[in-house]
Amino acid sequence: MASNESITDRAHLIDFAYATPDRLRKRIRLYDFQVDPIDLPAWVLDHIPSAATAHFLDVGCGPGRYLEAIRSSHPVATAFGCDLSFGMAREAALHSPSLAGDSTFLPFSDDSFDCVIAAHMLYHVPDIDATLREIFRVTRSGGNVAVVLNGVAHLRELFTVLRDAVIAVGGKNAPRPESPDRIKLRAAEPLIARYFASLETFAERRAIVTTDSTVIADYVESMEATFASAIDVQWSDVVEATRTIVSDHIANHGAWHTSSNLGMILARKPRT
């Protein structure tokens, strides 16, 4: 299976990549090493009009980071989570009512929510337009959508190390040195504009600096579901080569750097 196919393969996402929150949590740990750190769920909520009293849906909610942020910072607001993976929905339900469901057939009535959050999930959906259409359907007139995605330069240095590690262990079809997301922040704007109005895009870039090669090796290990089936070498060897490349860099330069480049598109459902 090519890596692009694994990113959208339903069974692969449910049974492997997101069967439990473990792999995602390994990746999220990288962001602990941001300089001037950004708390992403809090940052997203800060941009949403009337978030304090809104009724939210978090589509592709994962383990419920956004649901947790809503509950802790906006006690009057209410929220539902929905995720393709039962394992994720079960974890999210610790924070707010959550169910397993597909974003292309949302199990909610029309005009149900003041705001729908779709954070770091659109690149997993085979039919992105069907998801946006469903989000539009369940958003009330005048309500908002908040789509969070990575920018083109996101973690470029990390994906360059990943490519170099594949080559170092003899892999012939090394991945391109960039984040594998099939849709990135700016490219999503025209797709969202088919349904929603008043689009605003907010983007942030942060340096990530670490002296711990394990954080990078763990991140790469967690990407097995995306890359391993498309390359001709053992994933564990790629992980160890990553560790060596980053350790050597830290020994020579004192630290290893990459940068996050992500953002959100906020848009409104026109009033009818």
Nearer to ligand SAM, 69 or 245 (CB): 69
- Nearest distance from C-beta of residue 80 to ligand SAM, angstroms: 12
Comparing every residue's Cβ against ligand SAM, the nearest one is 62
Minimum distance from CB of 233 to ligand SAM (Å)?
25
Nearer to ligand SAM (CB atom), residue 19 or residue 250: 19
| Beta pairing, strands 139-150 & 256-268 | antiparallel
CB 89 within 8 A of CB 126: no
Residue with tokens 């009535």: 109
Nearer to ligand SAM by C-beta: 65 or 243? 65
Contacts 24+ apart (CB under 8 A), 211-215: 211/250, 211/254, 211/255, 211/256, 212/33, 213/242, 213/243, 213/246, 213/247, 213/250, 213/256, 214/243, 215/29, 215/30, 215/33
Closest by CA position to 238, among listed 142, 160, 137, 169? 169
Quote the CA–CA distance of 178 and 226 in Å, as a whole number: 13
Least Cβ distance, residue 41 to ligand SAM (angstroms): 8
User: In this complex, which beta carbon is closest to ligand SAM, that of residue 63 or of residue 171?
Assistant: 63
3-state secondary structure of 231: coil
Nearest distance from C-beta of residue 185 to ligand SAM, angstroms:
14
**Nearest residue (CB) to ligand SAM, 61 versus 241:** 61
Q: Given the rule CB under 6 A, which residues bind ligand SAM? A: 13, 18, 24, 59-62, 65, 83-85, 88, 102-104, 119-121, 124-125
Minimum Å gap between C-beta 157 and ligand SAM is 20
